[in-house]
Amino acid sequence: IWTDWIDVSYPNSSDKNSGDYETFENILMKNPLWVCAKAENISCRAEKFPDIPIADLGQKVECNVNTGLICNNSDQHIGGTIPMPSCLNYEISVCCIPNIPECLPTTTVSTTTAPPSSTTSTVS
């Protein structure tokens, strides 16, 4: 199930030690009812530039299913598409397995496979 766009952190452009942190940890702190047992996929975008891939914005941003999104102001440089040395405000959408009983596996299925058989033909 894909979530709506999530934005729980906002970068402080005047603080070099700030950034934008749309991490799963921050999402849970701001929204303890957020239910995601396991992130399967993630989509990240800049709030003000939703149609531009983040790779084309010229900012150093980490976006992955293990942590969420991390953007540090200290990693940004003036130049490129964004003429400021701070993070844009990003938002994420996560495709996840919900942490509700109906969606969690209740049984384990094991399978076994037989070794491959071989045949030999003789042509005379």
Q: What is the pLDDT along the chain (124 residues), one digit of tens a residue?
A: 888 999 999 999 889 899 999 999 999 899 887 778 788 999 999 999 999 999 988 899 999 999 999 999 999 987 666 667 899 999 999 998 876 555 444 443 333 344 444 444 445 4
- DSSP code for 93: E
pLDDT in tens, 59-71: 999 999 999 999 9
Q: Round to whole Å and give the CA distance between 115 and 11.
A: 57
Q: Is the pTM of this model over 0.85?
A: no
Whether residue 23 is contained in a domain is answered as yes
Boundaries of domain holding 54: 19-101
Whether residue 85 is contained in a domain is answered as yes
Whether residue 62 is contained in a domain is answered as yes
- DSSP code for 117: P
Q: Round to whole Å and give the CA distance between 6 and 75.
A: 23
Whether residue 10 is contained in a domain is answered as no
Whether residue 59 is contained in a domain is answered as yes
Whether residue 7 is contained in a domain is answered as no
The b-or-e profile of 5-44 (16+ CB within 10 A means b, else e) is bbbbbebeeeeeebbbbbbbebbeeeeeebebeebeebeb
**How many domains does one find in the chain?**
1
What residue type is 22 in one-letter code? E
Helix (H) or strand (E) holding 29: helix 24-30
